[in-house]
Amino acid sequence: MTVRALIESGRLGRITHYESHFDRFRPKVPVRWREEAERGGGLLFDLRPHLIDQALMLFGAPQTVTAFVKAHRDHAHAPDFVHIVLGYENKEVILHASALAALEPPRFAIHGTRGSYVKSGLDTQEDQLRSGMRPGNPEFAKNPPGLLREVDGDHDLRHEFATKDGAYVEFYRALAASIQDDKPFPVTPQDAVDTMTIIELAKQSQDEGRRLDFVSR
């Protein structure tokens, strides 16, 4: 939400480089279905759809897909390193996830012709819900600010940029409204197909070692 609002405001100018990371440090491979490639496990199918969906919402469909999908941990049977580059006419969009990142890079890093924005840390809602905090608590979904630098001629300003409060519950309210009141469904079939198409192309790009064209289905 914060990134979308910032990009739409034009404060960064024309976006030339966007990076979205979802990295953790989990060197030991647990015994669970998420670690079994034959059961749909691994980061390509687990975390990657979130980052792909966000990129599609921000920039639309890409022209090309290049990917590196690997298993780096000892005894890993499913991908635990995924690096996808979505190619657009005037920007590169990098989507990255790793299970071996002891020092996590920024969650978002965006660079444009008039400045840059960097935000560290994952959204707080999941950890807060796991700890027992619920929506309605004044501290729920509060996230620290990112860092914004705006440069325009002699104007050079570096400052904190407030993070918008997320609300997972709004998705389910929209879902209920689509079922009960015939409101638009919050995710279109084409959104889902485009995300799955990029996942398939990412695997094919790794297998064939080349950049592939994206064609919407």
Delimit the domains of the chain by residue range.
2-207
Q: What is the pLDDT of residue 19?
A: 98
Q: What is the pLDDT of residue 34?
A: 82
Q: What is the pLDDT along the chain (217 residues), one digit of tens a residue?
A: 999 999 999 999 999 999 999 999 999 998 888 888 878 889 999 888 999 999 999 999 999 999 999 999 999 999 999 999 999 999 999 999 999 999 989 999 999 999 999 999 999 999 999 999 999 899 999 999 999 999 988 889 999 999 999 899 999 999 999 999 999 988 899 999 999 999 999 999 999 999 999 998 8
Q: What is the pLDDT of residue 152?
A: 85
Q: What is the pLDDT of residue 47?
A: 80
Q: What is the CATH number of domain 2-207?
A: 3.30.360.10
Choose among 76, 78, 87, 108: nearest CA to 198: 87
Q: Would you say the pTM of this structure is higher than 0.85?
A: yes
Give me the helix-helix angle, 189-208 and 48-59, nearest 10°: 120
